[in-house]
């Protein structure tokens, strides 16, 4: 997997965010959980703008996990409606900001209406190159690795007879979003410190930042806090701190 920041510091090229805490935000206000999700969409808009301003080239957002189908049907339906509306409403704003939208996940589970909105939003922003926004929907890190191996075999069944041809590069190239480099910084909002089956392979060397802020309250200042924290990290990729310093990029 291509790492963009070989030894850290500076600005991350690829930021991935687990947008968590919508439900708690609403419950604290005695509102239905769906209201938290609705407010969460406003944070998405704010954070896309803030990230683009900061020059982040790849922003990846965890919108709905393969496990989130386990939630009450009413909540799942509310999330689907929000997703469909946001896709239609936000595509134009993304176009104006030069943001290319891509969606990663098992899209076969979504309604035809949602799949059509995804196709349209991806198509109208296909030429945008300021930032690539990947929305992970019905996405799971384990699903991604399994579908990568299935793809490898489907594309070239002879690999089964030559397993030595399976390399990290080949797996990379078959992941659900082969367009993005490795994750530099993974942020989880809402205070939990777990990955919850988000991008596993691509985040193998990501720096992890847990923000206590609930996603509907998350904004530019919170993003800046995470970026400042990241700038102070020394990324070692298995080496010693001294080796990294000798390379001339360390702290």
Nearer to Mg ion, 20 or 35 (CB): 20
Q: Give the rounded distance of the alpha carbon of 251 from its chain centre.
A: 28
β-strand pairing of 99-104 with 131-139? parallel
Assess 84 for contact with ligand IPE (CB under 6 A). Answer: no
Distance CA 236, CA 246 (A): 12
Q: Which of 56, 223, 45, 239 lies closest to 132, judged by CA?
A: 56
184 is catalytic: no
Tell me the site size for Mg ion, rule CB under 5 A.
Answer: 1
Nearer to ligand IPE, 171 or 223 (CB): 223
The binder of 222, among ligand IPE, Mg ion, none, by C-beta within 5 to 8 A per type, is none
Assess 20 for contact with Mg ion (CB under 5 A). Answer: yes
Stretch that binds Mg ion, among 20-28, 63-71, 133-141, 242-250 (CB under 5 A): 20-28
Stretch that binds ligand IPE, among 20-28, 115-123, 170-178, 241-249 (CB under 6 A): 20-28
Which residues lie across from 61 on neighbouring strands? 17, 135
Q: Write the DSSP assignment of 84-119 as a string of letters.
A: HHHHHHHHHHHHHHTEEEEEES-GGGS-HHHHHHHH
Q: Which of 5, 20, 144, 222 is labelled catalytic?
A: 20
Please give the sequence-ordered ranges of beta strands (E in DSSP) within 81-237, or none if there are none: 99-104, 131-139, 185-188, 207-210
Q: Give the rounded distance of the alpha carbon of 66 from its chain centre.
A: 14
68 is catalytic: yes
Assess 79 for contact with ligand IPE (CB under 6 A). Answer: yes
Residue 35 is assigned to a ligand binding site: no
List, as residue ranges, the binding site: 20-25, 33, 37, 65-67, 69, 71, 188, 194-196, 207
- Residues identified as active-site: 20, 68
What is the binding site for ligand IPE (CB under 6 A)? 18-24, 62-65, 68, 79, 190, 192, 194, 196
What is the binding site for Mg ion (CB under 5 A)? 20
């Amino acid at each position: 997997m291509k790492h963009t920041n070989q030894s850290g510091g500076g600005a991350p090229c690829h930021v991935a965010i687990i947008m968590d805490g919508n439900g708690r935000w609403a419950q604290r206000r005695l509102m239905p959980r769906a209201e938290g999700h609705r407010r969460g969409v406003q944070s998405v808009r704010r954070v896309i703008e803030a990230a683009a301003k900061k020059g982040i080239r790849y922003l990846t957002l965890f919108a709905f996990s393969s496990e989130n189908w386990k939630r009450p049907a009413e909540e799942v339906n509310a999330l689907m409606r929000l997703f469909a509306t946001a896709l239609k409403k936000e595509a134009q704003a993304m176009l104006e900001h030069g943001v290319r939208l891509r969606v990663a996940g098992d899209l076969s589970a979504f309604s035809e209406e949602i799949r059509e909105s995804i196709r349209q939003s991806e198509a109208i922003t296909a030429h945008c190159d300021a930032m690539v926004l990947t929305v992970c929907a019905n996405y799971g890190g384990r699903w991604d690795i399994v579908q990568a191996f299935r793809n490898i075999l489907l594309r070239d069944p002879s690999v089964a007879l030559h397993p030595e041809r399976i390399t990290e590069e080949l797996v990379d190239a078959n992941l659900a979003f082969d367009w993005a480099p490795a994750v530099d910084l993974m942020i989880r909002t809402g205070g939990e410190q777990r990955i919850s089956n988000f991008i596993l392979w691509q985040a193998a060397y990501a720096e992890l930042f847990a923000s206590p802020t609930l996603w509907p309250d998350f904004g530019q200042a919170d993003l800046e806090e995470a970026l400042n924290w990241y700038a102070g990290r020394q990324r070692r990729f298995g080496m010693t701190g001294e080796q990294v310093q000798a390379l001339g990029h360390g702290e």
